[in-house]
Amino acid sequence: MTAIAPVAWGSGYVVTRSLLPPESPLWGGVLRALPAGLIVLILARRLPRGSWWWRSLLLGALNVGGFFVLVYVAGQRLPSSLAATLMSASAACMLLFAWLLLHRRPRPAAVVGATVGLVGVAVMLGFDAEGADPWGVAASLGAMVASSIGFVLTARWGSDVPALSMTAWQLVAGSVVLLPAALLVEGPPPMLTASSALGFAYLALIATALAYAAWFSGLRRLSPGVVGVVGLLNPVTGVVLGVAVAGEAFGVPQVVGVGLVLAGIVLGATPARRAPRLGATSLAMQSRT
């Protein structure tokens, strides 16, 4: 279920680059987050209480407001495969922040899986980064850091909050943060064409409402390190769709890289084996004798 999110996010780069207006990243974030947040809030039927008002604003600014704007810029300035590939460093980033903020030492399997996956990403990227737009690269890396911190804090604070409520609160809060900035910086919202309306509808319903509900559900059931490794499906999706839809290059490095990323996901997401309890072991030995 968690894998739905990175696959949907990886497809968002192609949609942003192909269908959305390039000059409106702030409104792009609002039009993506606000409809999705209101829909999920109607389904969740629950408002924040107590400290969750300021937590929702902080997490919404990290996971939605800043993230959506920076991803929009990256999607417009970089090829889909490169933008998604740069974001894949979030696997290692989430392991690091989970260690620092949650004091959770990463499992060796998660570290190995993240390392193998990042090697695969580097192979997949190859030498195509030469001449890449520096603002696009900076936006992609900034989105990766902001969302990694936000997702780890979500795992720390939100273990008792249903995934739908968490999704709704952060999406609406992120929209509240973005809306004044969009009005001041970009003026009125952009006029939508049929293609841009279709693009925003896809991003709002699939790559936002559905994706965030799946992702936050995963953060409640899995460790942040494992979730980060599963997030490596983001660059795989970006590369595959970049080739299929946008005609981007795909050769032997991409094939090898995708294979390594998938191997890293399998390694990192494999649950640790639990040692048998002493009582159970003794009972088994007695039954044999």
User: What integer pLDDT is reported at residue 204 of this predicted model?
Assistant: 93
Burial class (CB within 10 angstroms; exposed 0-12, middle 13-18, buried 19+) of 127: exposed
User: What integer pLDDT is reported at residue 164 of this predicted model?
Assistant: 92
Amino acid at position 213, single letter: A
Q: Please state, in angstroms and rounded to a whole number, the distance separating the CA atoms of residues 166 and 56.
A: 8
User: What integer pLDDT is reported at residue 51 of this predicted model?
Assistant: 94
Tally of domains in the chain: 1
| Helices of type H across the chain | 4-19, 25-44, 52-60, 67-77, 80-87, 90-102, 108-125, 134-157, 163-186, 194-204, 211-221, 224-230, 233-244, 252-269, 278-288
pTM comes to 0.76
User: What integer pLDDT is reported at residue 282 of this predicted model?
Assistant: 46
180: tokens are 């004044």
Q: Which of 281, 283, 205, 186 is nearest to 4 (CA)?
A: 205
Cα distance from N-terminal residue to C-terminal residue, the chain: 45
User: What integer pLDDT is reported at residue 249 of this predicted model?
Assistant: 63
User: What integer pLDDT is reported at residue 195 of this predicted model?
Assistant: 92
For residue 111, the enclosing domain spans: 4-288
Place of tokens 């191997």: 263
Segment-wise mean pLDDT, segments of 10 residues, the chain, 289 residues? 87 84 88 94 93 95 90 81 70 74 72 75 61 79 87 86 93 94 92 92 93 89 76 76 70 72 68 51 46
